[in-house]
Amino acid sequence: MKAIRRFTVRPVLPEPLRPLSDLARNLRWSWHAETRELFQSLDPEGWQKAGGDPVRLLGAVPAARLGDLAQDRRFLRRLTAAADDLDDYLRGSRWYQTQDAAGAELPAAIAYFSPEFGITAALPQYSGGLGILAGDHLKAASDLGAPLIGVGLLYRHGYFRQSLSRDGWQQEHYPVLDPNELPVSLLREEDGTPSRVSLALPGGRSLRAHIWQARVGRVPLLLLDSDVEDNDPGERDVTDRLYGGGSEHRLLQEMLLGIGGVRAVRTYCRLTGHAAPEVFHTNEGHAGFLGLERIRELSGEGLDFDSALEAVRAGTVFTTHTPVPAGIDRFDRELVAHHFGDDGELPGVDVERILQLGMETYPGGEPNLFNMAVMGLRLAQRANGVSTLHGAVSREMFAGLWPGFDPAEVPITSVTNGVHAPTWVAPEVFRLGARQIGAGRAEDALSVGGSQRWDAVADIADGEIWDVRRVLREQLVYEVRDRLRASWRQRGAGSAELGWIDGVLDPDVLTIGFARRVPSYKRLTLMLRDKDRLMDLLLHPTRPVQIVVAGKAHPADDGGKRLVRELVRFADDPRVRHRIVFLPDYGMAMAQKLYPGCDVWLNNPLRPLEACGTSGMKAALNGCLNLSVMDGWWDEWFGPDYGWAIPTADAVGTDEDRRDDLEAHALYELIEQRVAPRFYDRGDSDLPERWIEMVRQTLASLGPKLLAGRMVREYVERLYAPAARAHRALDPDTARELAGWKARLRGAWPRVAVDHVEALAATAVNGTAELGSTLALRVRVALDGLQPEDVEVQAVAGRVDSADHITDGQTFPLKPAGGPDLEGRWLYEGPLALDRTGPFGYTVRILPAHPLLATSADLGLVAVPSEETGEAAGVLMR
Ligand SMILES: *Cc1c(COP(=O)(O)O)cnc(C)c1O
């Protein structure tokens, strides 16, 4: 029978057990093993059934059991200890407070927006790496005491759950998530009514949303939910699922996230007295509309669009996460135009100006599309990619937005991702460290970092490390069998057919893991390139390997689903099914077992499309070695002690098919010749000593770099603190002045020019010069009414390639030495040291200069000598 209405009956906890409710509602339990153990001891079986979710557990524990526990002195003592520990965690002064007290002038609050958050499997609001990174960011911020407010959407179906059909085709399910059964609570006004935000839609419609809050340690996470009764059915569905629906659906989600999100933050601050954010951070472009809402807020305070834009940019940070075009949101211009302006949201903000912000004004750009990443870059004075390599790739990719600048100068920096170790390090591994240095210091080492503490790993005995690795591998074997059995039942098999599953995987065989989403660039099936070869590796008589694979394809991606099916069919083959498995429904709960249980983590994307990749980091923190293409973080921190680099066949002109062949071949070779021999190379003590040494190095030397604590500290120091200072500097008057100055510069710029360049005391005879000599440059520039303080005139010098392009240029500021002459030209001078041998060249350029610009590329304006000026002056020397 189908119920006509559902509601949730909340458990009433006996008074002495009340603290359980706080412990369950603060998601810190998800990275605090002791709190989880406390919940588990309430009802071990119920804990299993509740999927390790305290809120569900409390809803299911029989009242009689609760009554007993309320009398159980030992339990109550543990409960008090856990509650006190949480209290200390929430109140104590931490890294951020220490920095701030030392005069770092850190922001009073930072709002962090993301379309998905992966905090725990119990709050399934993520699809993959982007969301889990956002979750790790909040958790690390909490550990460090950084005052973040997370902002996202609450999707009624989350992302989909994956299962398989009999023949291996991905099936998608969308279970309904009832917020009343999730670890969230409604934000309410003082009178108890639920707080609401409301957006105006075209045709007089409204999009309303409630605000749910989750507590992530010290950090509140606000999640907007459009499933409220006074919305029309269409609007109720706006937050139905993550990354589902067509273009208009996506646009509405992103308007709610960006615009509604700012309103939710304002509401939250009003109700709780939380400090207002000085910095807004948008995790990928989806939340970019937050900048427009803040422009609207300032317009209401009397600022014109350009001045408001300056004020908003100063305090905005934008992180780009992908060089894959399909990962970037682009909307039809018309669609965006239709939703903004006087008939839609942001009345009073000129629609044309909005549209310009998202325009792809570079060669190859689509004039009719509105690009969220491009808008993100224009609305943020500070932007970054997520690994050193990805920073460089992003600068190339977006260089067209800064014409006249070399990609190296494009103002996009990078902060390499990290992962939240307390979430991802298995308790067994944690205890290895805790035995050396004590639990408290081990906890600090994982959350805050500090490499001395990690050095203690060096003293752990080989046998101890290997025992733990074996235990973890064995746990994974049992987990895999359980999941595989469940999957086969779902695929329609009866128990009688499934006896073979008890023999799947072997706790003593080298175990390789590969799990991630299935976009084509990640190449799920590269390992199947030569199936016979792979079979030989799996079935090797003395050095076999076993492989665990998992991953979801996007529901609209049939190509990805074909890859899944190909993998499943291979793994179904009775000849190999005990050595390779595909586990459906990859998610955080599976990941937490998978990373620690594997010996080797495989990653074979098409370089350089993996912006960072974080699963390999989580694996490494558990002593798993990486086997990866040199992409993302691995390109930066690879070391021969940490694993193996799969060589890349990315020479220009190699077609993709051939490239896959070459790289797959290299992968097989590595496994056969290097990885497996080392794993099975047992010394006198029957231990693989060289392998264990690699595990030890991975933990001790690589480990501390991989922490989300390290990442968040970098964001604070390199991006949030400067953004907060810039934000404070831009009060309304200053914002107006800066906007006015920019307008003046843009107006004058077409007539700003380098007129004449000469090198006095030039020792460049016949095009050669001596190392150590100095050129005195004299340059005449036309500034068209601008003053010397408005610009910087620079010499740029360095090695030149065969096309006379300066490759590793250094800049030398030149000083004004007179002017203006009768034609309004200024003289600039300065020395240029010839401090390196070989082909060398220099040029001169003029850039805008203002103390409030984050970089001189900020306006995208630069003036360089015309061809004639350059040649007449003999600018280049060979
Ligand atoms: C870490 C993680 C990811 C991201 O993995 P990548 O290597 O960055 O692709 C995806 N899904 C889950 C469940 C994860 O834990």
Domain membership flag for residue 633: yes
Q: Is the CB of 132 under 6 A from ligand 1?
A: yes
Residue 501, pLDDT score: 98
Residue whose CB lies within 8 A of the most ligand 1 atoms, among 243, 595, 614, for a mutation test: 614
Please tell me whether residues 683 and 782 are part of one structural domain.
no
Between the CA of 609 and the centroid of ligand 1 the distance, in Å, is: 15
Please tell me whether residues 137 and 180 are part of one structural domain.
yes
Q: Is the CB of 38 under 6 A from ligand 1?
A: no
Please tell me whether residues 287 and 341 are part of one structural domain.
yes
Spatial CB neighbours of 849, under 8 Å, sequence gap ≥ 6: 789, 790, 791, 792, 856
Output the residue whose Cα is nearest ligand 1's atom 8: 613
Output the residue whose Cα is nearest ligand 1's atom 3: 129
Q: Is the CB of 390 under 6 A from ligand 1?
A: no
Domain membership flag for residue 336: yes
Domain membership flag for residue 652: yes
Domain membership flag for residue 413: no
Q: Is the CB of 129 under 6 A from ligand 1?
A: yes
Q: How many domains does the chain have?
A: 4
Between the CA of 622 and the centroid of ligand 1 the distance, in Å, is: 15
Residue 779: give its domain's CATH number.
2.60.40
Between the CA of 702 and the centroid of ligand 1 the distance, in Å, is: 19
Question: Average pLDDT of each block of 10 consecutive residues along the chain (878 residues)?
Answer: 68 92 97 96 94 94 94 96 97 94 93 98 96 98 98 97 97 95 96 97 95 98 97 96 94 98 98 98 97 96 96 98 88 96 86 96 93 97 98 96 93 98 96 90 84 83 97 98 98 95 98 96 97 98 98 96 98 98 97 98 96 98 98 98 95 86 97 98 94 97 96 98 96 97 96 91 60 86 94 92 86 92 91 82 94 92 84 45
Please tell me whether residues 38 and 180 are part of one structural domain.
no
Domain membership flag for residue 280: yes
Residue 230: give its domain's CATH number.
3.40.50.2000
Between the CA of 313 and the centroid of ligand 1 the distance, in Å, is: 31
Residue 872, pLDDT score: 47
Q: Is the CB of 587 under 6 A from ligand 1?
A: yes
Please tell me whether residues 350 and 213 are part of one structural domain.
yes
Residue 863, pLDDT score: 95
Boundary residue ending a domain (387, 418, 449) = 387
Domain membership flag for residue 726: no
Boundary residue ending a domain (387, 414, 438) = 387
Between the CA of 614 and the centroid of ligand 1 the distance, in Å, is: 6
Residue 453, pLDDT score: 79
Helix (H, G, I), strand (E, B) or coil at 815: strand
Q: Residues in the chain, how many? A: 878
Residue 763, pLDDT score: 53
Q: Is the CB of 128 under 6 A from ligand 1?
A: yes
Could you give the CA distance from residue 414 to residue 718 in angstroms, rounded to a whole number?
Answer: 10
- H/E element holding 57? helix 54-60
Q: Is the CB of 614 under 6 A from ligand 1?
A: yes
**Virtual torsion, Cα 740, 744, 746, 750, nearest 10 deg:** 180
Could you give the CA distance from residue 660 to residue 666 in angstroms, rounded to a whole number?
Answer: 10
Boundary residue ending a domain (669, 704, 739) = 704
Please tell me whether residues 86 and 135 are part of one structural domain.
no
Q: Write the pLDDT tens digit of every residue in 132-164.
A: 999 999 999 999 999 999 999 999 999 999 999
User: Strand pairing partners for 345?
Assistant: 340
The two structure tokens encoding residue 155? 């999707």
Please tell me whether residues 71 and 115 are part of one structural domain.
no
Between the CA of 129 and the centroid of ligand 1 the distance, in Å, is: 4
Q: Is the CB of 552 under 6 A from ligand 1?
A: no
Residue 420, pLDDT score: 98
Output the residue whose Cα is nearest ligand 1's atom 4: 129
Q: Is the CB of 131 under 6 A from ligand 1?
A: no
Residue 873, pLDDT score: 46
Q: Is the CB of 618 under 6 A from ligand 1?
A: yes
Residue 24, pLDDT score: 96
Phi-psi region of 284 (alpha: psi -120 to 50; beta: other; left: phi over 0): left
Residue 32, pLDDT score: 95
Please tell me whether residues 217 and 310 are part of one structural domain.
yes
Please tell me whether residues 684 and 755 are part of one structural domain.
no
Residue 449, pLDDT score: 73
Supply the range of the domain harboring residue 272.
108-387
Could you give the CA distance from residue 353 to residue 335 in angstroms, rounded to a whole number?
Answer: 15
Between the CA of 617 and the centroid of ligand 1 the distance, in Å, is: 10
The two structure tokens encoding residue 122? 């119990």
Buried b (16+ CB within 10 A) or exposed e, 388-398: bbbbbbbbebb
What atom of ligand 1 comes closest to residue 419's alpha carbon?
1
- H/E element holding 136? helix 129-144
Buried b (16+ CB within 10 A) or exposed e, 42-68: bbeebbeebebbbbbbbbebeeeebee
What atom of ligand 1 comes closest to residue 616's alpha carbon?
7
What atom of ligand 1 comes closest to residue 618's alpha carbon?
1
Between the CA of 130 and the centroid of ligand 1 the distance, in Å, is: 8
Q: Is the CB of 615 under 6 A from ligand 1?
A: yes
Please tell me whether residues 691 and 788 are part of one structural domain.
no
Strand 117-118 and strand 124-125: the pairing is antiparallel
Please tell me whether residues 381 and 481 are part of one structural domain.
no
Q: Is the CB of 208 under 6 A from ligand 1?
A: no
Domain membership flag for residue 710: no
Please tell me whether residues 135 and 176 are part of one structural domain.
yes
Q: Say what the pTM is.
A: 0.96
Domain membership flag for residue 423: no
Between the CA of 453 and the centroid of ligand 1 the distance, in Å, is: 27
